[in-house]
Amino acid sequence: MNAFLFTPKPFYGSMQIKKGIIERISPSRFPKRIDRLVLPGFISTHIHTIQTHARNTAENLELLDWLKKKIWPFEASLTKKTAYASSFTGMRECLEFGITTILDMATTRHTHSVFEAARDSGIRAFIGKALMDQGPKSLIEKDPLSEVFDLLADWHGFDNKRLQVTLSPRFALSCSEKLLREAGRLSNELKLIQHSHISENLKECEWIEEHFGFSNVELLNEVGSLNDLSVLAHSVHVSKKDIALLKKNGCSISHCPVSNLKLASGIADIKRLSALNLSLGVDGAACNNLLDPFFEMRMAHLLSRSLHGLKGVSAENIFKMATVGGARALHSEKQFGTLQVGKEADYLVVNVPERVYFNPKFPYESLLHSIVASNIESVFVKGRRVFTC
Ligand SMILES: [Zn+2]
């Protein structure tokens, strides 16, 4: 099958897959009109699939009220069965919209159910139990890390590394310094991805400054929790000093433009953060409220343009954030994230609608601004078909 291939240097051609691996990519003659695209699967480096069934229930609230009034009570009400169902719905939605890999933060209980949902949905997933030893009584635990060892034994590396366990300290407000320090230590020792939220909302940042005399990033740096396995969502309110500390520690950022706008958190200026490895996150259905990477990319591009005009982050770089940047954040760029021979075949086939002229001279702009998730024909993870429209 010939298509316009979004390889690192896009061109028109065909791609052969053998046993889940990209075996060959070869060029073909350009047709008069491009009617089909093949893209690497999108990677969402920040999501809470367990919150999917809370969609459209937590509206018009800022982060801390949103958590306290709606999300934490929702999470506390989940059972094994409903946790599975909510996560499974979110994962199927991701696949339908072209996301083949997720970095998923669960809640403090039922993480096994989230892994079961990932096993059954076919998605590639890095999943962490939310670590909380401060905050609402209905969720916090005395020793949140103890269960992580069971999760590692049961799930880490499942299906030839399709599923992996991460450490997910929820955010500085819900973790003691001891817990943050321990999570950092375990991450270094066991080489596990650390997934957390950082400097999302101004009130959250002010609370941390007041109580610790440090910024959010300085606090995490101080307790030794930051490392090159850290993937930090949001980073809306960060200083120059914060950015330098994130750079020094080799942290990756998950930019979540739609969630940041919807929870009235603000705009993360990704041009300012461009010294760091940047990736993209759709966040949860309770704050987005769609898990759509096409919309996320378009928003990221337009927001950067609104801040910097034509000098904002380019469409090509936004696309890279949503693909190879995510793979880099997950230390998996040798395994997936681009269409290249030898990599695992996580990809999607997209039909270009009749009414759209897809311009190969501007492939990234054409993709971001004239293609939508409903144009997807089929989605593959490790060469297995996981969605067909
Ligand atoms: Zn989040």
Domain encompassing residue 371: 2-40+338-388
pLDDT of residue 239: 96
Ligand 1 center to 200 CA (angstroms): 9
Same domain, 81 and 151: yes
- Ligand 1 centroid to residue 252 C-alpha, Å: 15
pLDDT in tens, the chain (389 residues): 899 999 999 999 999 999 999 999 999 999 999 999 999 999 999 999 999 999 999 999 999 999 999 999 999 999 999 999 999 999 999 999 999 999 999 999 999 999 999 999 999 999 999 999 999 999 999 999 999 999 999 999 999 999 999 999 999 999 999 999 999 999 999 999 999 999 999 999 999 999 889 999 999 999 999 999 999 999 999 999 999 999 999 999 999 999 999 999 999 999 999 999 999 999 999 999 999 999 999 999 999 999 999 999 999 999 999 999 999 999 999 999 999 999 999 999 999 999 999 999 999 999 999 999 999 999 999 999 999 99
Give pLDDT, residue 1.
Answer: 84
Q: How far is the CA of 328 from the centre of ligand 1 (A)?
A: 20
And the tokens for 178? Answer: 């001891």
CA of 146 to the centre of ligand 1 (A): 23
How many independent structural domains does the chain possess?
2
The percent of the chain in helix, strand and coil, each rounded to the nearest 5, is 40, 20, 35
Decide: helix, strand or coil at residue 267: coil
Give the three-state DSSP class for 174.
helix
- Considering the domain architecture, whether residues 311 and 214 belong to the same structural domain is answered as yes
* One-letter amino acid of 93: E
CA distance from start to end of the chain? 18
The encoded tokens of residue 49 equal 């699939």
H helices of the chain, in order, are: 63-65, 72-77, 80-96, 111-121, 146-155, 158-161, 177-190, 202-212, 216-222, 240-248, 257-262, 293-308, 315-322, 324-329, 363-370
Cβ neighbour number for residue 290 with a 10 Å cutoff: 15
Ligand 1: centre distance to CA 290 (Å): 14
**Do residues 66 and 169 share a domain?**
yes
Q: Please indicate, yes or no, whether residues 268 and 352 belong to a single structural domain of this protein.
A: no
Residue 172 CA to ligand 1 center (angstroms) comes to 13
297 and 350 share a domain? no
Residues 7 and 56 grouped into a single domain = no
Q: How far is the CA of 24 from the centre of ligand 1 (A)?
A: 38
Q: How far is the CA of 80 from the centre of ligand 1 (A)?
A: 21
Cα 103 to ligand 1 centre (Å): 10
Check residue 52 and report its DSSP letter: G
Q: 280 with 145, same domain?
A: yes
pLDDT at 40: 98
Q: Are residues 230 and 357 in the same domain?
A: no
Does residue 159 sit in the same domain as residue 209? yes
pTM passes above 0.95 = yes
Distance 303 CA to ligand 1 centre (A): 20
